[in-house]
């Protein structure tokens, strides 16, 4: 008589083995998908906002350096790199620097050096660099994981125009 309850107890115990592993697997799938989704969305916002900062930094460097320092300007804008840290979608190739005259038109002929630019601006000639326009375009967000391919979206173009300052002129 006593063996039947023991047998039932063993059968129930035997059926329960591995149940916690299955439950963990089901919960882990949802948990890690949610966790990786949060990380991916955080990275989307990081890249999205960093484009504005990179454009601003490139504009700031462009108004205090001469036009032949294009690679240096782009590197400094990208935090001393060739691409945005943790955002390889934004690289030096995406940064466009244009030098503008007083009317805001892109200059086709640039002064030969910073002194010539100052002379051109004082003489009110058409080769005076009055402002610098920096833009980032052609960048698209690339998700880290194939699970979130719907996040492969174009990053909005960012443009900054700043008045020319020293343009690399040193006394």
Q: How many CA atoms lie within 13 A of 87 on its CB side?
A: 25
120 vs 4, 96, 132, CA distance in Å? 105, 24, 16
pLDDT at 4 over 80: no
Please check whether residue 54 is in contact with residue 72, taking contact to mean a CB–CB distance below 8 angstroms: no
Per-residue pLDDT, 169: 84
Confidence band (pLDDT; 50, 70, 90) for 1?
Answer: low
Q: What is the pLDDT of residues 55-88, one digit of tens each?
A: 999 999 999 999 888 899 999 999 998 888 888 8
For the chain, the residue count is 171
Radius of gyration of the chain (CA): 29
**Token pair of 7, please?**
């047998």
Per-residue pLDDT, 16: 63
Q: Compute how many other C-beta atoms are within 10 angstroms of the C-beta atom of residue 96.
A: 16
**Token pair of 33, please?**
């998908």
**37 three-state secondary structure:** helix
Average pLDDT over residues 115-130: 89
Per-residue pLDDT, 166: 87
Per-residue pLDDT, 171: 67
């Amino acid at each position: 008589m006593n063996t039947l309850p023991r047998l039932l107890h063993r059968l129930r115990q035997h059926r329960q083995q591995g149940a916690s592993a299955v439950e963990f697997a089901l919960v882990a799938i949802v948990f890690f998908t949610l966790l990786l989704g949060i990380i991916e969305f955080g990275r989307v916002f990081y890249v999205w906002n960093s484009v504005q900062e990179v454009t601003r930094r490139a504009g700031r460097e462009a108004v205090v350096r001469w036009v032949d320092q294009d690679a240096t300007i782009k590197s400094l804008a990208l935090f001393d790199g060739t691409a945005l840290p943790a955002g390889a979608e934004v690289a030096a190739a995406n940064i466009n620097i244009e030098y503008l005259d007083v009317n805001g038109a892109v200059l086709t002929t640039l002064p030969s050096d910073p002194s010539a630019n100052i002379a051109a601006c004082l003489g009110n000639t058409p080769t005076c660099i009055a402002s610098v326009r920096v833009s980032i375009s052609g960048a698209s967000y690339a998700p880290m994981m194939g699970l979130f391919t719907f996040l492969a979206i174009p990053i909005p173009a960012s443009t900054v125009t700043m008045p020319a300052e020293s343009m690399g002129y040193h006394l």
